[in-house]
């Protein structure tokens, strides 16, 4: 008898193998429920889109802080403010001592 030719195969000759039922037929999706993998992908996608925005916000904040520091430096080193601060310190020291 040739290989693979058994009496069993002869009985089923011409028959198609039984098909497996689809996953949807066996386990229908629940309303409002998302698989863990889909939720994870959605979370990662949101995190990836926000990553650039966070960097941009840090950059804008750093530039704003540097600008404010520059204005404050110019203001405090101007002659008028230096004179006012010197007068305040002098008066404070003269009342103490």
pLDDT for res 18: 64
pTM: 0.40
Tell whether 66 is covered by a domain: yes
Q: HEC profile for 29-81?
A: CCCCCCCHHHHHHHHHHHHHHHHHHHHHHHHHHHHHHHHHHHHHHHHHCCHHH
pLDDT for res 62: 95
Residue 24 has pLDDT above 60, yes or no: no
Residue 75 has pLDDT above 70, yes or no: yes
Tell whether 72 is covered by a domain: yes
Closest CA to 61 of 73, 72, 69: 69
pLDDT of 27-62, one tens digit each?
655 655 567 788 888 777 776 666 666 788 899 999
Which carries the bigger pLDDT value, residue 38 or residue 91?
91
Q: 83 lies in which domain range? A: 33-96
Tell whether 20 is covered by a domain: no
Interaxial angle between packed helices 36-76 and 79-96, expressed in degrees from 0 to 180 and rounded to the nearest 10: 80
């Amino acid at each position: 008898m040739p290989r693979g030719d058994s009496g069993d195969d002869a009985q089923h000759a011409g028959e198609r193998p039984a098909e497996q039922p689809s996953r949807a037929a066996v386990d229908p999706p629940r309303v409002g429920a998302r698989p863990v993998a889909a939720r994870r992908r959605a979370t990662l996608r949101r995190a990836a889109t926000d990553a650039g925005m966070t960097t941009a916000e840090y950059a804008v904040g750093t530039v704003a802080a540097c600008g404010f520091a520059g204005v404050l430096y110019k203001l405090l080193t101007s002659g008028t403010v230096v004179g006012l601060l010197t007068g305040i310190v002098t008066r404070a020291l003269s009342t103490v001592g």
